[in-house]
Structure 1
Amino acid sequence: MSNLSLWPIGNCQVSALIDEAAGFVWGCQPRVDGDPLFCSLLDPKDERAMPRGEWRITVENQAKAEQWYLRNTPILVTRLTDSDGAAVEIFDFCPRFQRSGRMYRPVAFVRIVRPVSGAPRIRVSLNPSTNWGGKDAARTSGTNHIRYLLKPQPLRLTTDAPVAHLLEGRAFRAEKSLHFFLGPDEPFVGNVGHTLAQMLHQTADEWRSWVRGLAIPLEWQRVVIRAAITLKLCMYEETGAIVAALTTSIPEAPNSGRNWDYRYCWIRDAYYTVQALNRLGALDVLENYLSYLRNIVDESKGGHIQPLYAVSGEPKLDEYEAEGLAGYRGMGPVRVGNAAYTQVQHDAYGQIILSNAQAFFDERLFRKATNDDFAALEKVGERAWTMHDQPDAGLWEFRTRTSVHTYSSVMSWAGCDRLANAASVLGLSDRAVLWRERAEAIRKRIEKSAWHEGEGRFAASFGGDDLDASLLQLIDMRFLAPDDPRFVSTFNAVEQGLRRGEHMLRYAAEDDFGLPETAFNFCTFWLIEALHLVGREQEARELYTSTLERLTPAGLLSEDSDFATGELWGNYPQTYSLVGLINCAGLLSKPWSAVR
């Protein structure tokens, strides 16, 4: 079983990861890129009698633990059974439903414990941390609540369980349903049991209604639905930002030092996320994200746009190490912030335009793009045009070297090409001609400078001979057709150079940290897509099926896989990987007409 057997819950404001034994081991507040109140996943150094940064419910003499999500929701059920057969079921979720004309999604976590057989004795241990695992949160208590003095905002646990037992970590008999609401530091209005039971039903209905609107493929439906739900959990709905993952510092390979904080919005990752969800018809995520992008574009004033931003839109993400945490399985460092925000990555301009392009054509949107939006987007296009043949850090964010990366240049081409499409639909014929001419000029430059004549293929950088899995994106971006001999030769070279059995590397050359030790899961999905598009359909299906065998019990993937053992590494759940699950299912599935 994977060491990343973690189950996400959330409400698009906050989220938490729950381990195989009903422990909240990761979760931040008041938003996904905040200070973790649950941090035991990253091993607090200063252990206490009650583990720091954790909320755990156990049964005495536990013999078995089983877990599942309520169908089509991120509501987790954990059944804990003791050696005598006595059992409880724990329902974990973050409330999310319509109330008073708006979405109710508080900074809150709910746990409902229901005895289902026998007389189980349970222990509830809640010890949130503050200051990045540096210390236990101070607390005060009342008759039915415990206040935790967290920063930037305190939280209150309201419960109908005996507060004294919780404070002392004492075991007690679970003879009736017990309810726990860890949320805003304010009096809880109403009967906690009745209210939380109602919240459970309302939250389940909200998620099931959202799933019901998805246009999913016939095959691998549960895989696609779970990936889609989790992608939505990675959205910070207040601003529309989409984070790359819910965690920080889970290493890409054991003891590699490749420990990064992914709880921010990368323009690139978010583009792929909305692209995948658009294919399922989840336009709410697209519309929220476009609002986030419009603010980013406004603040750039036609100048440099960073590769990533905080979910608030804050541009400064200074990177430092959290001294109070030893790291995942003791493999530090734990990094907070990400210095990649200072990098130059020119592909971002194309991705902003590609994310916006649909809004000029889609009549379903509440806010269809206007001429004013096009004028603002042209400023991004000007940057794409200006920077298309300039060196950058590339999509893999090399920290110590730059090149003119083919992927970045092709994204610039795609940005100009899509601006021409948008201008045409708006009736701006002169602008359409301009952007079409610029796209053609970039295409000619790429075809000249990225072509490796000696090997008859494209290279990953201008004038280079390097291979990179992103070259497989030449067809997804419509730069080349799948049957173009130039793509076929490039694909053959990439497969030969970077494929490792059932896995795909990003690149095989040394980088800032040495040779890559794990495969990048998203690149494996790019390989599957390419196999399908060049007509190797059976191989594509077999590779997709074998990739599904590496899903965690929650049905998800992290960023990386050990290409020898298949063990998952890297931040979790990774949006890139979930996008791959969705895109490949859509490409490979039999049509719905097959069952009609």
Structure 2
Amino acid sequence: MPEYPPIANHGLIGDLQSAALISADGAVDWFCAPRFDSPSIFASLLDQERGGHFTIAPAHDDVTVRQLYLPDTAVLITRFLTPEGVGEVVDFMPVSDRPDVPTDRHRLVRALRVVRGTLTFDVTCRPRFDYGRAPHTLALDDAAATFHGPGLDVHLRSSVPLEADGQDVRATVTLRHGQTAGIVLETSAPGATAPEPLTEEAVQAALEETRVFWHGWMRRCRYRGRWQSMVNRSAITLKLLIYAPSGAPIAAATMGLPEQIGGERNWDYRYTWIRDASFSVRVLLDLGYIEEADAFRRWLGGRGHAARPSGGEPMQIMYRVDGDPHLSEEVLPHLSGYRDSYPVRAGNGAAGQLQLDIYGEFAYAMTHSQDLAELAGYEGWKGFAALLDWLCDNWDRPDEGIWETRGGRKDFTYSRMMCWVALDRGIRLANEYARPADLPRWTAQRDAILVQVMERGWNPGLKAFVQHYDSEVLDASLLLMPLVGFISPKAPSWLSTLDAMDRELVTDSLVYRYNPEASPDGLRGSEGTFSLCSFLYVEALARAGRLDQARFAMDKMLTYANHVGLFAEEIGRTGEQLGNFPQAFTHLALITAAMALDEELDRAADRT
């Protein structure tokens, strides 16, 4: 098997429409353009032979590598330390003057410099279009190359000579202390004007503009708490995963990275989940990013009152970043998968599942609107009210649940709870903004849900709320029960549920979402702990007043971050990161846990 870098051995760069992963080996091994969900140009992370890569690395065997971000930016620096010298590759993607306008032009800048001694770099650029399925042709002229692929051209401009390697390109660059070189990859529509020749001044100007952009953006951040550096990095990561033209955040930058090495739990996360993204509204507002929160609410509102297919549900659980509901799932049989984790899937078949909790998350996001009339207007409210009327007739249906299991529909407690949230927030909005609504019906159904959850979602033997009715399975999604106001964070029934989770789902601050052996989910194999759930656990502990336990769990959880502060979806048995990377929901939960713990610690200090 080829040597694959650990999932965690990557940094993320992007320009708010597309993104790339850079390994600590100096390889761009994941890059899709012109959008996050476009077919890949480099995907050696999913198949080192067929996926394609763009690598800049020392021509030395004895190399120590260090990777870091330029503070409070999305500029990634990979440092190579050798006996002959120390060199750096500075990677970034400049943000255009109009990131809110979709474009085919995206630049990935790679600046080389040597800060001590002498170092020789080997450069290899091997694009593989359409997930490695489509051939390309090369046009090369000294320091400029163009790869012609289906529907997209990729231009390579260099300050050093390039040479052909079949239909690919390579180069060798030797630099002494103080010397620099640059290589810029730029995508464009087929036949578009080729970029200007590269100059050192242009590379430095682009670097400075990118630094200024990110520093300016970070100055708007309100967080000044105990975990400043981790919250800042999480905020930048969230910003990198928001598609600026629509304001919609994707779940993760990648597809196909496994939840279990060699297993089949390999999904495409480059889409916008109503659930994940809705919780981002509160976080963005709390951090001070009102424009980003409003942009997503406008996108979300468009999904809420879009035309409903005859006989279908009002909303899907996920969409493409432009709101397109078509996410048909296909297997890419020519890709072997990360460390033979097969199959590799593009698209996501879970888009058609019934997950009733999304209506609660949708309403939760809209509740945080500072001006509902401006964002939704009367027509928007009518669509929202119609959605809640539909929910009154449909909340008591089995569904697939938050975790998108493929083991059949059940009466999931979390789904019922979030239907309660939808109606509760709808009632609040109707009263606050004096909107027309069938309040007696909404109130009756809201109260019926609460009674049902309290009576059927509670297992007296376990003294805990359980995953679905008439089961003994615990589920970490219920950590949100007190956080959305369904139950007091210090209620005896909730504290006993927290104790039960601590016994069964928690290991060294890490939290499993549920036990798949106790609750078959229709998939083979197992999975790691869910980092999202681990941070929800921290927040639940903090709100329950268990501050010493919460702080220790938070600090331990942060030791599982990678070397540049990023988290994938899961943590494996030996601490390795698993699943798609980086995951937005995990970083959202990190921020909310940090803010909640800061708040509770400050309150405790005020009482002493």
SS class of match (2:63): strand
Which residue of structure 2 lines up, in the alignment, with residue 49 of structure 1? none
Counterpart of 2:170, as a letter, is: G
> When the two structures are superposed, what TM-score results if normalisation uses the length of structure 2?
0.90
Q: CA deviation at 1:300?
A: 3.8
Which residue of structure 1 lines up, in the alignment, with residue 321 of structure 2? 311
User: Aligned pair 1:19/2:23, yes or no?
Assistant: yes
User: Aligned pair 1:244/2:248, yes or no?
Assistant: no
Which residue of structure 1 lines up, in the alignment, with residue 385 of structure 2? 378
Which residue of structure 2 lines up, in the alignment, with residue 559 of structure 1? 569
Which residue of structure 2 lines up, in the alignment, with residue 91 of structure 1? 90
Q: Over residues 57-96 of structure 1, what are the superposed CA-to-partner deviations in whole Å (9 max), with x where a residue is unaligned?
A: 12222522222111111111122233212x3322111111
Q: Over residues 372-392 of structure 1, what are the superposed CA-to-partner deviations in whole Å (9 max), with x where a residue is unaligned?
A: 322221122223322221110
SS class of match (1:119): strand
Which of 323, 348, 351 is matched with 2:333 structurally?
323
Answer whether contact 1:245 1:263 (CA < 8 A) is retained.
yes
Which residue of structure 2 lines up, in the alignment, with residue 577 of structure 1? 586
Q: CA deviation at 1:280?
A: 1.2
SS class of match (2:79): strand
Q: CA deviation at 1:28?
A: 0.7
Decide whether aligned partners of structure 1 residues 369 and 318 sit closer, same or farther in structure 2, where only a CA change above 3 A counts: closer
Which of 292, 312, 315 is matched with 1:285 structurally?
292
| TM alignment of 1:417-432, pairs within 5 A | 417-428=424-435, 431=438
Decide whether aligned partners of structure 1 residues 433 and 424 sit closer, same or farther in structure 2, where only a CA change above 3 A counts: farther
Answer whether contact 1:252 1:518 (CA < 8 A) is retained.
yes
Answer whether contact 1:74 1:229 (CA < 8 A) is retained.
yes
User: Aligned pair 1:342/2:362, yes or no?
Assistant: no
Decide whether aligned partners of structure 1 residues 105 and 543 sit closer, same or farther in structure 2, where only a CA change above 3 A counts: farther
Which of 208, 216, 221 is matched with 2:223 structurally?
216
Which of 183, 187, 196 is matched with 1:180 structurally?
183
Decide whether aligned partners of structure 1 residues 101 and 321 sit closer, same or farther in structure 2, where only a CA change above 3 A counts: closer
Q: CA deviation at 1:420?
A: 1.3
Q: Over residues 544-563 of structure 1, what are the superposed CA-to-partner deviations in whole Å (9 max), with x where a residue is unaligned?
A: 1111111101201111112x
SS class of match (2:97): strand
Which residue of structure 2 lines up, in the alignment, with residue 488 of structure 1? 495
| TM alignment of 1:254-265, pairs within 5 A | 254-265=261-272
| TM alignment of 1:177-576, pairs within 5 A | 177-185=180-188, 186-189=193-196, 192-301=199-308, 304=313, 305-359=315-369, 362=370, 367-428=374-435, 431=438, 434-508=441-515, 509=518, 510-514=520-524, 516-562=526-572, 564-576=573-585
Larger mean CA deviation between 586-595 and 411-420 belongs to 586-595
Larger mean CA deviation between 175-184 and 350-359 belongs to 175-184
User: Aligned pair 1:7/2:11, yes or no?
Assistant: yes
CA–CA separation in structure 2 for the residues paired with 1:101 and 1:530: 37
| TM alignment of 1:73-84, pairs within 5 A | 73-84=73-84
CA–CA separation in structure 2 for the residues paired with 1:455 and 1:117: 63
Which of 35, 38, 44 is matched with 1:40 structurally?
44
Which residue of structure 2 lines up, in the alignment, with residue 150 of structure 1? 149
Larger mean CA deviation between 301-310 and 97-106 belongs to 97-106
CA–CA separation in structure 2 for the residues paired with 1:368 and 1:283: 13
Counterpart of 2:30, as a letter, is: W
Q: Over residues 154-212 of structure 1, what are the superposed CA-to-partner deviations in whole Å (9 max), with x where a residue is unaligned?
A: 12112222133786524232364222221134232476432232121111111111111
SS class of match (2:333): coil
Answer whether contact 1:529 1:587 (CA < 8 A) is retained.
yes
| TM alignment of 1:162-173, pairs within 5 A | 162-164=161-163, 169-173=170-174
Decide whether aligned partners of structure 1 residues 347 and 547 sit closer, same or farther in structure 2, where only a CA change above 3 A counts: same
Decide whether aligned partners of structure 1 residues 59 and 451 sit closer, same or farther in structure 2, where only a CA change above 3 A counts: closer
Answer whether contact 2:157 2:183 (CA < 8 A) is retained.
yes
Answer whether contact 1:11 1:105 (CA < 8 A) is retained.
no
Q: CA deviation at 1:40?
A: 0.8
Q: CA deviation at 1:435?
A: 3.5
CA–CA separation in structure 1 for the residues paired with 2:99 and 2:54: 31
Larger mean CA deviation between 33-42 and 291-300 belongs to 291-300
Q: Over residues 321-379 of structure 1, what are the superposed CA-to-partner deviations in whole Å (9 max), with x where a residue is unaligned?
A: 212321112222211111101211111111112112212xx26x994443332222112
Counterpart of 1:496, as a letter, is: R
Decide whether aligned partners of structure 1 residues 384 and 214 sit closer, same or farther in structure 2, where only a CA change above 3 A counts: farther
SS class of match (1:95): coil
Counterpart of 2:578, as a letter, is: W
How large is the Cα RMSD of the aligned pairs?
A: 2.7
> When the two structures are superposed, what TM-score results if normalisation uses the length of structure 1?
0.91
CA–CA separation in structure 1 for the residues paired with 2:342 and 2:557: 28
Answer whether contact 1:97 1:104 (CA < 8 A) is retained.
no
Decide whether aligned partners of structure 1 residues 213 and 123 sit closer, same or farther in structure 2, where only a CA change above 3 A counts: same
Percent pairwise identity = 29
Q: Over residues 286-321 of structure 1, what are the superposed CA-to-partner deviations in whole Å (9 max), with x where a residue is unaligned?
A: 222122223322334385111111222222222122
Decide whether aligned partners of structure 1 residues 334 and 196 sit closer, same or farther in structure 2, where only a CA change above 3 A counts: same
SS class of match (2:405): coil
CA–CA separation in structure 1 for the residues paired with 2:204 and 2:402: 45
CA–CA separation in structure 2 for the residues paired with 1:203 and 1:168: 27
Decide whether aligned partners of structure 1 residues 456 and 120 sit closer, same or farther in structure 2, where only a CA change above 3 A counts: closer
Aligned length: 585
Decide whether aligned partners of structure 1 residues 501 and 189 sit closer, same or farther in structure 2, where only a CA change above 3 A counts: closer
Gaps of 5+ in 2: none
Q: Over residues 431-490 of structure 1, what are the superposed CA-to-partner deviations in whole Å (9 max), with x where a residue is unaligned?
A: 555534432232223223323344443222234333211122110110001122221222
Answer whether contact 2:417 2:486 (CA < 8 A) is retained.
yes
Answer whether contact 1:178 1:193 (CA < 8 A) is retained.
yes
Decide whether aligned partners of structure 1 residues 591 and 141 sit closer, same or farther in structure 2, where only a CA change above 3 A counts: farther
Which residue of structure 2 lines up, in the alignment, with residue 125 of structure 1? 124
Decide whether aligned partners of structure 1 residues 500 and 134 sit closer, same or farther in structure 2, where only a CA change above 3 A counts: same
Answer whether contact 2:33 2:104 (CA < 8 A) is retained.
no
Q: CA deviation at 1:22?
A: 1.4
Decide whether aligned partners of structure 1 residues 340 and 173 sit closer, same or farther in structure 2, where only a CA change above 3 A counts: same
Decide whether aligned partners of structure 1 residues 524 and 94 sit closer, same or farther in structure 2, where only a CA change above 3 A counts: same
CA–CA separation in structure 1 for the residues paired with 2:202 and 2:383: 46
